Structure 1
Amino acid sequence: MKSAFTLFWFFLCAFPALVLGAQPPIPGPPELPVKGYVLIDFNSGKTLAEMNADERLEPASLTKIMTAYTVFRELAGGKIQLTDQVLISEKSWRTGGSKMFVEVGKQVSVEDLLKGMIIQSGNDAAVALAEHVAGSVESFADLMNAHAKRLGMTASHFTNPNGLPDPDLYTTARDMARVTLALIAEFPQYYAWYKSLDFTYNKITQPNRNPLLKRDPTADGVKTGYTKAAGYCLIGSAKRDDMRLVSVVMGSASPNARAEASLALLNYGFRFYESHVLYPVGQPIETLRAWGGNLEKLPVGPGSTVAAIIPRGTYDQLSAHIEKTSDFRAPIASGAQVGDVVVMQGDDEIMRVPLVALEELAQGNLWQQARDSVLQLF
């Protein structure tokens, strides 16, 4: 028979978990039969699970994510238009692999070529877009690599727009996640095409090759890829409530294996984590006393979006505060860092984002400067 002390000690140890609802630890991510994978929260950019995420691998048609991103940047810069008519070259027409079935000598709009590449995975469409944007596949590859460098894709190199095998064409699961996150964030109007179930061109209707669109109603992208050397690859994305996850699976043994692996990662992330945007970039979160300037109160806010990915059920443990670098004395440029936004989970600091001035604090007139000098003495 247990002593009263033993029972008391058991109750004392169990009390925090029973009464305070202590969360069990998050289990390890699923073990998947692939060459490499990564799972990332869109809001915060945090990695939730990974395996060989930085190993150099062949991307196959995942390359077309970078191709689309490069074309979208050209559209955003006004250098090309969706309505541009692209003359189909023999090089584009002869490109092997998956096809949109463009015809040599015909003119096709940039919008149709993008949809043919995104939805039908047309290698011919990718070449036509590359030639229209940069004049040649080689010059377009230079653009791709410039964008990859800017995005921090340090382990990637692109030599063509469609992912057909080339010894100098390589990437990593993490790098492919980077460009996918950028594409979704910068071009939501075009990203909507990735959830289209089919596309018809030249009286030929072809289905979207992404199996997640039919297996998960919350999935809305992104891209499949396959070559014999690369294996079966899939970038998936799904949004449930306000939480979006991006998964990259590379080197699966079959189409079904890559779909199952992608679903396993997405379900793992949604099951055990929750994502919250605490403060959007540029949102005023406080106005602070400014000295010697043309303003008495200076609005400040985060220099980048403050988003937290936390174990599910622990939102009430979050708190945030600001830490100023010094008193606010003019002049201060708009966008200048004046401190940090610090996010805590319980007693642990989990994030620190620059706090910036949201307006310019110009030098005040002589009266304002003199007044503030006197006020600061008190």
Structure 2
Amino acid sequence: MRRFIGGCLIAVAVLPALWLDSAAAAPRLLVDVRTGQVLYADDAATSWYPASLTKLMVAHLVMREVEAGELDPRTIVTMSTHAASQPPSRFGLKPGSEIELRDALRIMLVRSYNDLAVAVAESVAGSEAAFVEAMNRECARLGMRGTHFVNANGLHDPGQVTTAHDMALLALAIMREHPQNFAMFGNAETQFDGRTIKNTNGLLRDYPGVDGMKTGYTCPSGFNLVATAYRGGRRLLAIAMGEPSTKARAADVSALFDAGFAGRLKPVGPLSRYDSSGLSPAVDLKSYACGKSLPAAALPLALTGG
């Protein structure tokens, strides 16, 4: 626990014409994990609210501590009054209830419970604020210049922002640094105390080859998804943010994977090409009735790289 103390464009046929107008272009990104080459990028440096994609960083930091021997995966996480009071979605443990760290993390990654994320942060770092400091230090280490965290669960805060580029950096770090624990990001469902908990990432059940990672939603952010898929000896990482629905985010990520695995997209440069210049205000979809006031675009039929 010691680390937590102190201190050129791509020509695309129709992906997507996008459901957002020019005032709020939604980020999309597709990366070949082995080469680090970007196969498709659209507004990858645009500032966006991460919502529960935040929990990728929570899991990354906890896994790093466990793998370094600083934390026991059986460490008891106690549900504080503060953690239990987080808005839904909640796992629902009462204040004073206990759960092992490994169970809390596994369940949080499957269902994105906000109370568990805060309880984990408090139990690991002593307070949520101290854990958030560690999250931001890790952003600096990974080069996530367009990201700043304010809380551990991703509930909306104007100061909590990220980019598709930065989420890709984080996802790649997780795959690189935690191969023995990567399976935790790919459980289609899990069980605990007689309960069956289904993952909010439906692609884990519906798209052959998808094996991780995380969903996120708040009204200001829209529906976000970071996903990985492995097929024919090749692994791809896809990111879609600001979608109008779970169905739309799954469809756009599926279209990216389809095009990538079919070889219709050619490399357009390294991920660093899509870095942001730093923090900036994020697009707020609340002004678009959480995206519902904007027309959804027809799903793409094909993609071509250029």
Q: Which residue number in structure 1 is paired with residue 203 of structure 2?
A: 212
Quick one: which amino acid aligns to residue 15 of structure 2?
A: E
TM-superposition CA deviations, 1:136-187 (whole Å, max 9, x none): 1111111001111111101000011110001110000110011011101211
Runs of 4+ in 1 over 4 A off after TM superposition: none
Q: Which residue number in structure 2 is paired with residue 270 of structure 1?
A: 261
In 2, the alpha carbon distance for the partners of 1:175 and 1:78 equals 27
* C-alpha deviation, 1:54, in angstroms: 0.3
* Structure 2: segments with no counterpart, 5+ residues: 1-9, 20-25, 269-306
In 2, the alpha carbon distance for the partners of 1:210 and 1:147 equals 25
Q: Which residue number in structure 2 is paired with residue 288 of structure 1?
A: none
In 1, the alpha carbon distance for the partners of 2:88 and 2:179 equals 28
In 2, the alpha carbon distance for the partners of 1:91 and 1:140 equals 15
* C-alpha deviation, 1:203, in angstroms: 2.9
Q: Secondary structure at the match of 1:232?
A: strand
The structure in which a higher percent of residues are strand is 1
Q: 1:29 to 1:213 in 2, by over 3 A?
A: farther
* C-alpha deviation, 1:30, in angstroms: 4.2
Q: Which residue number in structure 2 is paired with residue 167 of structure 1?
A: 158
In 2, the alpha carbon distance for the partners of 1:231 and 1:49 equals 21
TM-superposition CA deviations, 1:272-293 (whole Å, max 9, x none): 169xxxxxxxxxxxxxxxxxxx
Q: 1:191 to 1:90 in 2, by over 3 A?
A: same
Q: Secondary structure at the match of 1:124?
A: helix
In 1, the alpha carbon distance for the partners of 2:233 and 2:11 equals 23
TM-superposition CA deviations, 1:248-290 (whole Å, max 9, x none): 100011111100000011111111169xxxxxxxxxxxxxxxx
Match 1:137 to one of 108, 128, 133: 128
2:214 paired with 1:223: yes
2:15 paired with 1:31: yes
2:75 paired with 1:91: no
Match 1:100 to one of 91, 105, 119: 91
In 2, the alpha carbon distance for the partners of 1:46 and 1:242 equals 16
Match 2:170 to one of 159, 170, 179: 179
In 1, the alpha carbon distance for the partners of 2:109 and 2:13 equals 30
Higher Cα Rg, which structure: 1
Q: Which residue number in structure 2 is paired with residue 52 of structure 1?
A: 43
8 Å Cα contact 2:39-2:267 kept in structure 1: no
TM-superposition CA deviations, 1:225-259 (whole Å, max 9, x none): 11110001111110012210001100011111100
* Structure 1: segments with no counterpart, 5+ residues: 1-25, 275-308, 312-378
Quick one: which amino acid aligns to residue 31 of structure 1?
A: L
Q: Secondary structure at the match of 1:160?
A: coil
In 1, the alpha carbon distance for the partners of 2:172 and 2:250 equals 20
TM-superposition CA deviations, 1:99-141 (whole Å, max 9, x none): 2222321221010010111011111111011001111111111
Q: Secondary structure at the match of 2:262?
A: helix
2:187 paired with 1:196: yes
In 2, the alpha carbon distance for the partners of 1:98 and 1:111 equals 19
TM-superposition CA deviations, 1:164-221 (whole Å, max 9, x none): 0011100001100110111012112221022212122243322011011122120001
- Please report the RMSD computed on the Cα atoms of aligned residues, expressed in angstroms: 1.8
Identity level (%): 37
Q: Which residue number in structure 2 is paired with residue 123 of structure 1?
A: 114
8 Å Cα contact 2:222-2:244 kept in structure 1: yes
Q: What TM-score, normalized by structure 1, do the two folds share? A: 0.64
Q: 1:103 to 1:190 in 2, by over 3 A?
A: farther
Within 5 A, what are the aligned runs for 1:1-378?
28=12, 30-32=14-16, 33=18, 35-272=26-263
Q: Secondary structure at the match of 1:101?
A: coil
Q: What TM-score, normalized by structure 2, do the two folds share? A: 0.78
